[in-house]
Structure 1
Amino acid sequence: MRNGGDLVVETLEALGARTVFGIPGQHALGLFDAMGRGNLHFVSSRVENNSAFAADGYSRATGEVGVLFLSTGPGALTSLAGLQEAYATGVPMVVIASQIPLEGLGARRKGMLHQLDDQKASAANVTKSQRLIQHASGIPSAIQDAWTDAISSPQGPVWVEIPQNVLLEPIMVPPVEDALAQAADNPPRVELVREAVKWLRDARRPAIIAGGGTRRGRAEKALLHLAEQLRAPVICTPGGNGAFPWEHPLSLQSWIEDRHMTDLLEDADVLVVIGSSLGEVTSNYFTFEPRGRIIQIDAEPRVLESNRPGLGIRADAGQALDALNDALDAALAAQDGRPAPDWHGSSAEQTVADALRKVRERLASQDLGKELAFMADIRAAVPDDMQTFWDMTISAYWAWSCWDSRQGQFHSAQGAGGLGFGFPAAIGGAVGLATMGRPSRVLAVSGDGSAMYSISELATAKQHNVPVTWLIVDDGGYGILREYMVGAFGKATATELARPDFVALAEAFGVPARRVAPEDVREALEESFAADGPNVVVVETLLKMFAPTHLE
């Protein structure tokens, strides 16, 4: 006899889902029993938060919706930090959470295992929408609507809650044959595009900040066209890394935290901000004081003008840039071009080259040879098309600025900034690529502190033979916090960590591992990339961050 769980599985399959992440639980057993009658591939993590990171990584790597199954109460709550990252970064996910039976909802029957007064309210801060399904016949439409929410810009995770009895009770609803979810249209308003064109057609020093929304809106080609049409320097935020060609003559790369770049952007007479809130990192920790006008494009209306006044255009980045390019091309053709950029007597290309030279000179003055060589060796080892997943660690902070993602994609936890993202997200990414018929090894990078958040997922990687290489940079503590505290207070407190022998621990899971010196990381990674299944490379070294201004 079919039940509500079958409707969930059938609907997800009809919507195009192929893989589900999660952990079984008492109230969710109907879901997992139904999966045995369907075609979904299930990947069982060891901690629900890591399941959320894995579904996130799956979505980022594939461009598809990540799907997560959660049990009631503790299981659901444990996932929330992972969902916060997906929500902050705009990753489309559908979360199916179980719930106690209907008769226990609203605290009418206390003392039930896993019971919360209002479980979906707990997810309200980290998901776009929340739904409680009370009848099996409502399952297909509710999941279809949730899927539409997830893929409509601004994209993000959505929460669907189904009580245990609704999942288990026999149903008369026929099998789901089709389900259609189309992203809602999110174009820019015509008058706003027209006003933006007025600003840009006469701008002498236009510049562009490309945030994560540029990538989510698949606006890379449109961004390139706009930049070349305007001859505008482009800098990518950590989330936007890869949205613009790294070696392009107009590319300021991603040195968003260096004061030379901040100075250049402040000098722009018109600054186009795409898919970024101009938040903490992008504003160089709120030191950014632009003197020109700002055009801000974002699908999330709450972001517009949240940190700086400007011409706010609420729209999907891809749709907005297409409309802006069309209107600007027509306007420039009508007026026979636009004034040549004038960065105080220099061309835009020369201004970009000068800014990058100044950054290199600043780095050279700060005794960072070990750090620069270490990051260069990782970049040299990683194939051009390999996707990489970075935890919140000093290596990732470096990568935010210096990593040329080339044909691969760069993924980090810069949205919410929680620890433990890198390895489980990489597992999800590798699983997703294999599911799509594009099997490819991926790289995860963590510090020793963040590695302990997801160490149990070595069992997941081994069980599913996931082709992921995990680079653990072991500096004996929370390295970036140590550096922050020493810089602020002269000493660090509570940052030092007792940690395991990561090589022996990985081998206990049946995962090959090695420990190498920093200067041998390139060779170790290249050999690990050529192996089958998961493996671990541990490097014990103390890295430091660059200073964004001259050291006194």
Structure 2
Amino acid sequence: MTHDHDLVLRPTDAQTRAALAPPPGRTGGDLVAETLRGLGATTVFGLPGQHALALFDAVGRSDLRLVPLRVENNAGFAADAYGRVTGEAAPLLLSTGPGALTALPALAEAAAASAPVLAISSQVPTAGLGGARRGHLHELRDQAASFREVVKSVHVARTPSQIPSAVAAAWQSALTAPHGPVWVEIPEDVLRAETVIPQVTGVDATPPELVPRPELTALAAHWLQEAARPVIVAGGGVVRADAAGKLKQLAERLNAPVVTTFGGKGAFPWQHPLSLQSWLEDRHMTDFLEDADVLLVVGSGLGELSSNYHTFFPAGRVVQIEADLGKLESNHPALGIHADARLALQALLETVGERPDPDAPARVAKVLAEIRARIDAQDLALEQSLLASVRAALPPRSPSFWDMTILSYWAWSAFDARHPNTMHSAQGAGGLGYAFPAALGACVAEPGTPVLAVSGDGGAMYSIAELATARQHDLDVTWLIVDDGGYGILREYATEAFGRATATELARPDFTALADSFGVPAATTTPETLTADLKAALAAPGPSVLVLNATLRMFAPTHL
């Protein structure tokens, strides 16, 4: 009889020879690079700094592709997008103190959006740790404490021999459902130290599967099959779990209407007869969801935006499938199923039977018509035409990245993403400057595929330096900047709340001239020419910028 603890992986002859004769001059930085390669990484993002030079030197001598950006936070956004698009852990290399802290907003977005980012930071030499204040450059009393409440897990290596295990544990954590950012910290002297530790040739960091409990899925299947008016809310967890196909199967078997959250865009076909699309910030949709006698929520915590600013109060039973235990029943009582969305949907498909409901498509059409009538009663033709122009120009499989700007707020509700995992925004944490550097990360992930970034003029200024990155690496990104002379959405919010807006008007550069100074082709577009201009820009190799001078408005709020 063989027990698990009897199964020992024995080294191959090649591994034994490599262990006995490691290349000379290897350092702790090499152990990081070797471990990343052993785990399957091919690409790393980041910025060098004084304490991290040994790490970057090792990466430069490896076959890892290093994509350096100009600002640490932007490098974090690029890694975030790489992780979202590929489903792989995206290494982000940072230096100590200011360099590391500058990436905090990006890691907060990755945490909110469940993007697997593996941040690896240097630290002051070990003699300056443990409370000692030796005056090292970039010294922090407890650097890891700044990240502990943001990332999923913190891992520290204080000797070279600890590096492979720390990096592997972090990798596994980042890719364990729910995905998320993790933090590894290694002192400068440990990264620089020469090591006789053999080359890292075998690393196992396979994440465990988060399997649903069968008694819970059995009860959920019974409720759904017997329901009179079931509805499904599909969140970002469906996209991350690559479960859109299983969601469609289940919805069609149950004849259950499906609404996708803003993070779940593309999880269900937009034009499907059962598609409620994404109009979550609309009282008609809120009423429809409240009328459901069984609401199946998959991969969403029903947070502020998904609940129409917490004005949604379900009247029927709620079944919530969620990989993040902290989000399970965090907003509404439910039959909580702590599981990966794909595995839970598969369990439901294995249990639930056909549920005929010929009236379901008509009920979907009715609520969408009510929403359409409300939008049409407002003077919002420009905003809708711009979204239609973007959709017409963007290839169906091309990823798009949207900053916190008015056109993006429209896109959350009204843009047809066409396919899962093709529309991404910063609505997880809501920070500015996400779209363009994130789009660069997607370009690296999918070379040869045109990628679109959409920003306002305010958000664009956060990441303007990355035009140099786009040009240096000839990335196929088109950046659409909607210039309204300020923070447009804040202007609207402030005026509505206080009767005036303060600090929302901005001086800004001539974006086309600025892009041209970086060697990036740029032009001004108009609402009438946007489709043609976008098509041309997206079809051209390398980076490009389009500037649209337009002042947009949001549709009237319906959560009041």
Is TM-score (shorter-chain normalized) higher than 0.5? yes
Query: How many angstroms apart in 2 are the aligned matches of 1:382 and 1:208?
Result: 28
Match of 1:51 in 2: 75
What's the CA shift for 1:198? 2.5
Q: Which amino acid in 1 is paired with 2:436?
A: F
Query: How many angstroms apart in 1 are the aligned matches of 2:559 and 2:99?
Result: 48
Match of 2:108 in 1: 84
Query: How many angstroms apart in 2 are the aligned matches of 1:321 and 1:113?
Result: 51
Match of 2:262 in 1: 238
> Is the aligned partner of 1:305 residue 2:329?
yes
> Does the 8 Å contact 2:84/2:240 carry over to 1?
no
Query: How many angstroms apart in 1 are the aligned matches of 2:396 and 2:539?
Result: 15
Match of 1:490 in 2: 499
Match of 1:406 in 2: 418
Match of 2:153 in 1: 129
Sequence identity (%): 58
Query: How many angstroms apart in 1 are the aligned matches of 2:67 and 2:228?
Result: 53
Q: Which amino acid in 1 is paired with 2:134?
A: K
> Is the aligned partner of 1:26 residue 2:41?
no
Aligned equivalent of 2:444, options 410, 431, 441: 431
> Does the 8 Å contact 1:127/1:157 carry over to 2?
yes
Q: Which amino acid in 1 is paired with 2:94?
A: L
Q: Which amino acid in 2 is paired with 1:364?
A: D
> Does the 8 Å contact 2:281/2:308 carry over to 1?
yes
> Does the 8 Å contact 1:442/1:468 carry over to 2?
yes
> Does the 8 Å contact 2:309/2:559 carry over to 1?
no
Match of 2:540 in 1: 531
Match of 1:212 in 2: 236
Aligned equivalent of 1:506, options 485, 510, 515: 515
Match of 2:550 in 1: 541
What's the CA shift for 1:548? 4.2
Aligned equivalent of 1:294, options 318, 332, 341: 318
Query: How many angstroms apart in 2 are the aligned matches of 1:388 and 1:15?
Result: 28
> Does the 8 Å contact 2:311/2:559 carry over to 1?
no
Query: How many angstroms apart in 2 are the aligned matches of 1:70 and 1:326?
Result: 46
Aligned equivalent of 2:85, options 61, 78, 93: 61
What's the CA shift for 1:550? 11
Match of 1:152 in 2: 176
Query: How many angstroms apart in 2 are the aligned matches of 1:515 and 1:42?
Result: 33
> Does the 8 Å contact 1:362/1:550 carry over to 2?
no
> Is the aligned partner of 1:421 residue 2:445?
no
Structure 1 regions of 5+ residues with no counterpart?
none
> Is the aligned partner of 1:361 residue 2:373?
yes
Q: Deviations over 1:509-535 (max 9, x none)?
A: 111111122222111111111212111
Query: How many angstroms apart in 2 are the aligned matches of 1:462 and 1:524?
Result: 20
What's the CA shift for 1:130? 0.3
Match of 1:384 in 2: 396
Counterpart secondary structure, 2:326? coil
Match of 1:39 in 2: 63
> Is the aligned partner of 1:193 residue 2:193?
no
Match of 1:170 in 2: 194
Number of paired residues?
A: 535
> Does the 8 Å contact 1:423/1:444 carry over to 2?
yes
Q: Which amino acid in 1 is paired with 2:306?
A: T
> Does the 8 Å contact 1:103/1:109 carry over to 2?
no
Q: Deviations over 1:58-90 (max 9, x none)?
A: 112222221100000000000000000001110
Q: Which amino acid in 2 is paired with 1:421?
A: Y
> Is the aligned partner of 1:181 residue 2:211?
no
Q: Which moved more, 1:466-475 or 1:480-489?
A: 480-489
Q: Which amino acid in 2 is paired with 1:381?
A: A
Counterpart secondary structure, 2:375? helix
What's the CA shift for 1:291? 0.9
Q: RMSD of the alignment, in Å?
A: 1.3
> Does the 8 Å contact 1:386/1:407 carry over to 2?
no
Q: Which amino acid in 1 is paired with 2:464?
A: I
What's the CA shift for 1:178? 2.0
Counterpart secondary structure, 1:302? helix
Query: How many angstroms apart in 2 are the aligned matches of 1:188 and 1:57?
Result: 28
Counterpart secondary structure, 1:119? coil
Match of 1:440 in 2: 449
Q: Which amino acid in 1 is paired with 2:438?
A: A
Match of 2:464 in 1: 455
> Does the 8 Å contact 2:481/2:547 carry over to 1?
yes
Q: Which moved more, 1:448-457 or 1:514-523?
A: 514-523
Q: Which amino acid in 1 is paired with 2:424?
A: H
Aligned equivalent of 2:273, options 233, 245, 249: 249
Q: Which amino acid in 2 is paired with 1:429?
A: A
Query: How many angstroms apart in 2 are the aligned matches of 1:418 and 1:36?
Result: 31
Trace 1:101-140 onto structure 2 (pairs within 5 A).
101-140=125-164
Counterpart secondary structure, 2:164? helix
Counterpart secondary structure, 1:518? coil
Taking a change above 3 Å as real, the CA distance of residues 402 and 19 of structure 1, as seen in their structure-2 partners, is same
Structure 2 regions of 5+ residues with no counterpart?
1-24
Counterpart secondary structure, 2:528? helix
> Is the aligned partner of 1:394 residue 2:418?
no
> Does the 8 Å contact 2:321/2:337 carry over to 1?
yes
> Does the 8 Å contact 2:224/2:294 carry over to 1?
yes
4+ runs deviating over 4 angstroms: none
With normalisation by structure 1, the TM-score equals 0.95
What's the CA shift for 1:6? 0.5
Q: Which amino acid in 2 is paired with 1:427?
A: L
Q: Deviations over 1:320-353 (max 9, x none)?
A: 111122122xxx3xxxx54x44xxxx81110011
Taking a change above 3 Å as real, the CA distance of residues 213 and 550 of structure 1, as seen in their structure-2 partners, is closer
> Is the aligned partner of 1:479 residue 2:488?
yes
What's the CA shift for 1:119? 0.6
What's the CA shift for 1:381? 0.8
Q: Which moved more, 1:100-109 or 1:364-373?
A: 100-109
Query: How many angstroms apart in 2 are the aligned matches of 1:390 and 1:414?
Result: 9
Query: How many angstroms apart in 2 are the aligned matches of 1:254 and 1:199?
Result: 25
Aligned equivalent of 2:476, options 456, 467, 483: 467
Match of 2:26 in 1: 2
With normalisation by structure 2, the TM-score equals 0.94
Match of 1:261 in 2: 285
> Does the 8 Å contact 1:128/1:150 carry over to 2?
yes
> Does the 8 Å contact 1:6/1:34 carry over to 2?
yes
